[in-house]
Amino acid sequence: MSTAAGLSGGSEKTAEALSLLDQAVLEMIMAQQPLARVLESLCLKIEERSPGLICSVLLLDSQNGTLHHGAGPSLPKAYLDAIDGVRIGPKVGSCGTAAFRRQPVVVVDIANDPLWADFKDLARTHGLRACWSMPISSHNGTVLGTFACYYREPRTPDSHNLTLIDRATHLAGVAIEYHRSKTELQVVETRYQTLVERLPAITYIAEVGVEGRWYYVSPQIESMLGFSPQEWMANPGLWISRIHVEDREIALLAERRVEESGGLYKAEYRMYARDGRVLWFRDEAMPMNVPAGSKPQMQGVMYDITEYKRLEDQLRQAQKMEAIGQLAGGIAHDFNNLLMIIEAHIDRIRERLVPTDDLYADAGEVHDAAVRAASLTRQLLAFSRKQLLQPRALDLTPVLNEVGKMLTRVLVENIELKIDVQPGLATVKVDQSQLEQAILNLAVNARDAMPLGGTLTIQGQNIHFDEAQVWRHSTLPPGDYVVLSITDTGTGMDSDTEARLFEPFFTTKPPGKGTGLGLPTVYGVVQQSEGAISVETEPGRGTTFKIFLPRCAEHASSTHTPPSPSTEMKGHETILLVEDQEAIREVTVEYLGRLGYEVLAAADGEAALKIVGTQTKTIGLLVTDVVMPNMGGPELAARITQLSPRTKVLFMSGYPDRAIRQHEGMGEDAEILQKPFSLKKLASKARSLLDRSAHK
C-alpha cells in the first residue's frame, strides 16, 4: 500500500496528523535519538490518534530469522518477553507470518484464526483479540521487522487505521534503516547522506530566500525533476523558475513566514520537470541552527504528491458525478412524465398512420429518441445508486444460462463463449433484469476488447472471506458471497485506464461509440445490491471483472422470464385511474377506453374516493401514481382495498429512488410501473393483474 493511496482515503484532519507525525519522527531521526526512543514515540503517537489501538515494533534478525523487541510501550512486559526471539514462519501469529510472507496480515479475531493457533492462549492471557501486522521494508525491499496493531476486541481496520499504519510502517522503516546505517558508518555526514538519499523524496539544505544559496540537494532531484544536484546548487534561481507561475506566490508566502517568524516552512506547489512534466510537491522544512551573522538556513524535504493530487481530483470528480446523480434524481419525476406524454402521443400517431407514410418513419425517430432519453436518465440514476430496483432471491444458475443464450446474439463468430457454473451455487438477492444488464454490459465491452477474436468466460462460484477484502474500487466485509467472473482474452488495460474505469463519462471508445456510462451503471447496480466489484487486467493479457454478491438465506423464487406480448389486451372491466398530470391522464383514459375498458379518472386521492363512494360497479383495477397532492397512492390504495378487497392495485411512479418502496402501504411485492412506460405495457400489465384476480 503506497503512502499516497493511504492519504487518498483520509480527511484533511488525517492528512494534517500525518504531516505532524512525519515531522515529529523525522526530527527525532535527524537529532540522532536512540532507535528505541524513536520507535516508542512513534507507537505512542499512533495510539494517541486511534483510541483503543496498541502498537508494537519487532525487529527482524535476518541471519537466524527471529523477531526481537523494538518497541511496545503499551503492551504487558510479560507478553513482550514471551514473543521476543520467536522464529518467523507461515503460521506464526500476525507478525511472524507477515515477516515470512513479506505482506500485510490482518487477523480480525485471534481466538478463531489458525495463524494464532500456537499463540492464542498467550494472547488471551493478556486480553488481546485482534492483531494487524505490516512488514517493515528497507528501500531495497529487505524486511527489517514488523509494525503491529492490537485491539482488545475483534476488529477490522478502517481507512483511518490503514492510513496511520501505512505511514507508521514507512516511518519505522526509515528509523530502523537510519539506525542501522548509523552503526555501520563512521562519519556522521556520510551516515546522514546515505539515509536521506534513500528516502522517496528530495532532501535539501538551503538559505532562506528566493535567491538563497543551496548547500545540499539529494540525488533524487535528478530522477524526479531531471536536474543533477550540481546544476541545481549552481543556480539559486532555478527553484523559483521551475515553480508553476500560478503557485509561485504560495511558495514565496511560505518563505516570508519563515523569514519573519522563524517558523516551519510548509507549502504545496506544482513544478515543471526538465522534460515538461508537471509534478506536485509538498515542501516542508525547519530552520537550522547557524553561526551568528550567517544567513538563515532551512533543512527540508520535498515529497512528490502528484499521485495524491490525482486521486484527490478523482474524488472531486466523483463528487461532481454524485451531484449529477442527485440532480437527475430531482428532475426524474417531471422528466419521466414528459417522456411518457411524448411516447404516448407518438404511439397514437403511429397507430393512425400506415407504415408507408413518410410521417410514420418520423414518428418512429421521435419514439426512439424518447426511449434513448429515458435510458440515459436510468443510467445517470444507476451510477448514483438511485434507480428503483426490484430485488428478490434468485438462483443464478438459470439466470447465467439465459444470459449465455442472449450473448450468442451479440458475440461475433470468432469469440468462443464458455459458461462455467459451480454446482450448488448459493442464492442471492438482486434485481434480475439489472444484473442481467450489468453482465451484458461487461460482455459487450469484452467483445469490443477482442477485435481479432478470443474467449469470453462467465463463471459463477461460492466464496467465503474470513477477512475484509479491499480492492481499488470496492471493499467487502467478511462473509459468504457468490462471485460472478467475466473474463476475456482481449487487449487488457493499463493502470491509468483501470483507475478510471468506473468514472462516469470516461470512455476509451471513439466519439459516438460510447457514453462512458456503461461501467458506472454496472458499479451502481452492484453497490446498490450491497455487493462489490474488482478488476484484474494487464495490457495484452485480457481482463477479468468479478462481481461479488452477498449470499441470501431466503429460498430462490422462480427465475423471471419476461412475458410474451399479449395479442389480446382488450377488456370490459372498470379501471380507476388516478394521475395528477392531466396530459397523462387524458391520453391514458382515451387509450384504455379504446380497448373496451370503462375508465374512471381522478386527479388526486380525494377525488378518487368520491368516485368510489358513488360508484355501483365493481372496480377491478386501481392504477395510481405514488406521489400526488393531498393524498398519496399508497394511502389511497389502502383505503380502496378496505372497501373492495378484490380490487387489484398497480402503482405508477416517475421517482427513481428506493425510498418510493418505503411509503406506507407499499411492500416488496407491490406492482410498480416505472415511468416512462408505453401504453401497451400498461394495458398488458393491467390485463395480467385483472386475469390474476379472475382466477382466484
Top mean-pLDDT range of 17-26, 109-118, 250-259: 109-118
Percentage of residues of the chain with pLDDT beyond 70:
83
Q: Give the model's pLDDT for residue 683.
A: 87
Distance between CA atoms of residues 247 and 283, nearest Å: 13
Higher pLDDT, 263 or 386: 263
Cβ-based neighbours of 118, under 8 Å, separated by 6 or more: 91, 92, 93
Please state which of the ranges 31-40, 83-92, 348-357 shows the lowest mean pLDDT: 348-357
DSSP class of 490 = S
Residue 235 pLDDT exceeds 50 = yes
- Looking at per-residue confidence, does 438 or 59 come out higher? 59
When comparing pLDDT for 335 and 95, which is higher?
A: 95
Distances (CA, A) of 70 to 22, 56, 60, 141, 588: 19, 7, 9, 20, 78
Asked whether 265 and 300 are in contact (CB, 8 A), the reply is: yes
pLDDT of the residue at 31: 84
Domains of the chain (ranges; CATH) run 3-189 (3.30.450.40), 200-304 (3.30.450.20), 315-383 (1.10.287.130), 392-550 (3.30.565.10), 574-694 (3.40.50.2300)
Task: Specify the DSSP class assigned to residue 127.
Answer: T
Nearest to residue 435, comparing CAs of 370, 529, 567? 529
Q: Would you state the cell numbers that stand for residue 93, as one nine-digit string?
A: 501469529
C-alpha cell at 531: 455487493
Burial of 660 (0-12, 13-18, 19+ CB in 10 A): buried
DSSP state of 111: G
Of 161-175, 235-249, 377-391, give the lowest mean pLDDT range.
377-391
Find the range with the poorest average confidence among 327-336, 346-355, 442-451: 327-336
Residue 564 banded pLDDT, cuts 50, 70, 90: very low
- Highest mean pLDDT of the ranges 120-134, 333-347, 402-416, 555-569: 120-134
Q: What is the largest CA-CA distance in the chain?
A: 106
Residue 13's pLDDT band (cuts 50, 70, 90): low
pLDDT above 70: residue 380? no
Q: What is the pLDDT of residue 504?
A: 65
**Mean pLDDT on 282-293:** 87
- Averaged confidence pLDDT in the chain: 83
Q: Quick count: other Cβ atoms within 10 Å of Cβ 504?
A: 24
Q: What is the Cα–Cα distance from 61 to 687, expressed in whole angstroms?
A: 79
CA distance 479 to 471: 16
Characterise 449 by phi-psi region: left (phi > 0), alpha (psi -120 to 50), beta (else): alpha
pTM score of the predicted model:
0.42
Give percent above pLDDT 90 in the chain.
34
**Choice between 122 and 276, residue whose per-residue pLDDT is larger:** 122
Contact 60, 205 (CB under 8 A): no
Does pLDDT of 509 surpass 90? no
Q: Which three cell numbers stand for residue 235?
A: 543556480
The yes-or-no verdict on residue 533 having pLDDT over 50 is: yes
- The answer to whether the beta carbons of residues 281 and 247 sit under 8 Å apart is no
Residues contacting 693, CB < 8 A, separation 6+: 620, 621, 646, 648
Say which amino acid occupies 573: E
The three-state secondary structure class of 660 is helix
